[in-house]
A and B are shown apart, each in its own frame.
Chain A
Amino acid sequence: MSLVYLNGKPVDHPHENHHHVSPVWQFTAVFAALVTLTILTYLVSYAGLGSASLPVAMAVAMVKASLVIAFFMHLFYEDRVYAFMFLSCFIFVAIFFTFVLFDMHTSAEMNEEAGIHYKRAVEDSAEQADTNRAFDAPAPAKAGH
């Protein structure tokens, strides 16, 4: 009798299936928590937390996401291989975000040293100069005559 493997682990009784069934009260509790957190973020957005609003909103969203993943998607009760796979993809998202945003925040100085200007910055300053000239031009004409 050769071994039967499931998710990389040998199983003794391959024809028996065990399912974890979550109780209804757990789904209801998770749903209530999700709705409460949604209403909370909605109300807090009117209060305005200034610079703290983005981190707070993200923290609440992550709590909500964790609840959905763990209980609605049942990941908490599944074989660990699925959790390993799914959560490791967030490591790659984190690398993606960290490197790009780090570059966004630090390359301004290097661009300046190298004399590189963003097209939008050049256009914006030209537009600003035009506006200034339009405001300034009539003033000396009036003064002169």
Chain B
Amino acid sequence: MSSTSAHDDEERPWFLAHHFDTVGQQVSAAKLGMWLFCCTEVLMFSGLFLAYFIIRTLYPEMVLGASEELNKTAGGVNTIVLLTSSFTMALGVRAAQTNNQKALERNLLITIACAFIFMIVKYFEYTAKIEHGLLPGNWYAAAEHGYMLPKYSRVFFGVYFTMTGLHGVHVLVGIGVLSWIFIRARRREFNSENYVAVENAGLYWHIVDLVWIFLFPLLYLVK
């Protein structure tokens, strides 16, 4: 930009980093980076989804039999919890866009609370699996616990724990990111001109939801 006069510098808002000319540039750069990160997330999880389809191709009956051991209702409740948190996250971004400070803080808090509920349900699911010896690889001990599952069921539980485990790590990271955004919101950093951080945290959270939308039917509801 040619107009780097003192007059323009005075008009720079406090949140505009020195290496950007306009707020628009700063926002589109941040969004570009976040969408690229979303792409890498999709590509990373796609490898695990492909692993799932490969074991499904190799052992069709085993996958159907072993997945019967998963708690459909717990998975369904967690799906609703994540969808609710995505909904409140979208409302949170909207609240920042419309300068609604109260709604922004409230929606961020509900989103974080839903993330915790998700992890608590996940904890009970994992505990049940561990108690019944439904574990991957060498830890697989279903027969010792009186479970007659198809041969190679340990491979299914390997995929189950890897996929839901990586997704769970994303939920935990999401709790951290959203807490950070909540603290910044409490400091009243966000308004209708400066909310790209809320929006990008929201994009991350929606990706977490997106992965679960595919994980849930494939792992829990296959038949």
Residues of A within 8 A of B (CB): 1-2, 4, 6-7, 11, 14-15, 17, 19, 21-22, 24, 27-28, 30-31, 34-35, 38-39, 41-42, 45, 48-50, 53-54, 57-58, 60-61, 64-65, 68-69, 71-74, 78-79, 81-82, 85-86, 89-90, 92-93, 96-97, 100-101, 104-105, 120, 124
Chain A contacts for B214, CB-based, 8 A? 61, 65
Which of these binds chain A: B27-35, B126-134, B139-147, B179-187? B27-35
For A24, list chain B residues within 8 Å (CB). Answer: 91, 94
Q: Contacts A14-B24, A17-B23 given: A100-B32 contact, CB under 8 Å?
A: no
Given contacts A38-B80, A45-B223, 15 further A-B contacts (CB under 8 A): A2-B2, A14-B21, A17-B27, A19-B192, A21-B98, A38-B216, A42-B221, A54-B222, A72-B209, A73-B203, A73-B206, A81-B32, A85-B36, A86-B42, A97-B49
By the criterion CB–CB under 8 Å, are B217 and A27 in contact?
Answer: no
Contact of A14 with B1 at beta-carbon distance under 8 Å, contacts A72-B86, A72-B206, A89-B39 already known: yes
Main secondary structure of the interface of A (DSSP, over half): helix
Cβ distance A81 to chain B, nearest Cβ, rounded Å? 8
Binding-face segment, B50-58, B114-122, B158-166: B50-58
Bound Cα distance from A81 to B176, whole angstroms = 29
A-B pairs with lowest CB-CB distance, top 8: A45-B221, A89-B39, A57-B217, A31-B87, A93-B46, A72-B90, A14-B22, A73-B206
Residue of A nearest to B215 (CB): A61
What residues of A have a CB within 8 angstroms of the CB of B89 in the complex?
72
Check A22 against B50 for contact (C-beta < 8 Å): no
Residues of A within 8 A of B203 (CB): 73
Residue pair B223, A48 in contact (C-beta under 8 Å): yes
In this complex, how many residues of chain B approach chain A with their Cβ under 8 Å: the count is 61
Q: How many A-B residue pairs have CB under 8 A?
A: 150
Is A1 within 8 A of B35, CB to CB?
no
Query: With the chains together, A3 CA to B204 CA distance in Å?
Result: 33
Tell me the nearest residue of chain B to A11, going by C-beta: B24
Docked CA distance A37–B23 (Å): 39
Contact of B57 among A17, A41, A104 (CB under 8 A): A104
In the bound complex, residues from chain B placing their C-beta under 8 Å from that of A124 are 151
Q: Report yes or no: A85 in contact with B46, Cβ–Cβ below 8 A.
A: no
Whether B22 and A15, one on each chain, are in contact in the complex, defined by CB atoms closer than 8 angstroms, is yes
Is B218 interfacial (CB 8 A cutoff)? yes
Measured CB to CB, the closest approach of chain B to A22, in angstroms, equals 6
Which residues of the partner chain B approach A105 to less than 8 Å between Cβ atoms? 57
Q: Mark B9-47, 1 if CB is under 8 A from A, else 0.
A: 001000000000111110110011001101100110011
A104 touches B217 (CB 8 A): no
